[in-house]
Amino acid sequence: MATPRPIKPNEGPEERAIPTERPVVTEEYASLGAHPTKTQEAKYLDIQNAILQLWIKNPSTSLSEGEAIKCAGHKSWCYAAKICYERLVRQGNINYVCVDGATSCKPAPTLLSRNHPGKTVVVIGAGMAGLGCARQLEGLSAHFENRFLKMGEEVPKVVVLEARDRVGGRVFSRGFKCDTSSSRLGDKYRCTVEMGSMTIPGFDRCSPYS
């Protein structure tokens, strides 16, 4: 995959709500040195924007580490690109709720320890937030599977608890039993009322439901 075109300083963060002028966080200093210069920080943010743009082109498929590293442009920046990619994955800026999910490395069973079974993460509610959270946690568990194995633990399991007999939470179309034979809809259609929310408080860019 080719390296994406150069983009404006705020183009990538604008799409994924990352502040353009944000300082480089502590975990990233290891890739830039103890005292990174403004030029190094600008280069790092360019790599970040390129990775974001690369994933935005096809958000239904998870972006691999190898594809993200190609955004470095030079081998001397490959480690920085790797650190940036990992941070974007963990913070949910890329590869969140992908259709294909993260690819598990499927390590050998001998690495597992019976003394340290995998933890169970419980998500309360099967609404949009709950299902998205559960999918993200499953993706992160698969992505960082080797780290759990090195600690002698199995990959955590994710369980979603829902009080209703359906998923979706507030996003729900309630159907009504009524005769539609005389209407333009015909018998095969049903009448519904949308019971869900129309906007998300604090989301200023427009309604994501529209």
Range(s) for CATH 1.10.10.10 in the chain?
A: 11-90
DSSP state of 77: G
Which CATH entry fits the domain spanning 11-90: 1.20.1290.10, 1.10.10.10, 3.40.50.1820, 3.40.50.150? Answer: 1.10.10.10
Bigger pLDDT: 107 or 45?
45
Structure tokens at 175: 């159907």
Pick the closest to residue 157 from 174, 141, 170 (CA basis).
141
Pick the closest to residue 67 from 89, 87, 82, 56 (CA basis).
82
CB 43 within 8 A of CB 28: no
- Residue 90: the pLDDT is 86
The count of other CB atoms within 10 Å of the CB of residue 164 is 11
* pLDDT tens by residue, 41-65: 888 889 999 999 999 998 888 899 9
Mean pLDDT of 164-191: 75
Confidence of residue 157 (pLDDT cuts 50, 70, 90): very high
Bigger pLDDT: 33 or 113?
33
- Residue 91: the pLDDT is 84
Mean pLDDT of 9-23: 51
Global model pTM greater than 0.85: no
- Please say if the pLDDT value at position 80 is more than 80: yes
Task: Determine phi and psi for 95, rounding to 5 degrees.
Answer: 60, 30
Kindly write down the DSSP assignment for every residue of 84-139, as one continuous string.
Answer: HHHHHHHTTSSSTT-SS-PPP----GGG--TTSPPPEEEEE--BHHHHHHHHHHHH
Alpha-carbon radius of gyration of the chain: 22
Instruction: In whole angstroms, give the CA distance from residue 136 to residue 100.
Output: 12
The angle at the Cα of 202, spanning 170 to 123, to the nearest 5 degrees, equals 45
Confidence of residue 1 (pLDDT cuts 50, 70, 90): very low
**List of E strands, the chain:** 120-124, 157-161, 173-176, 191-194
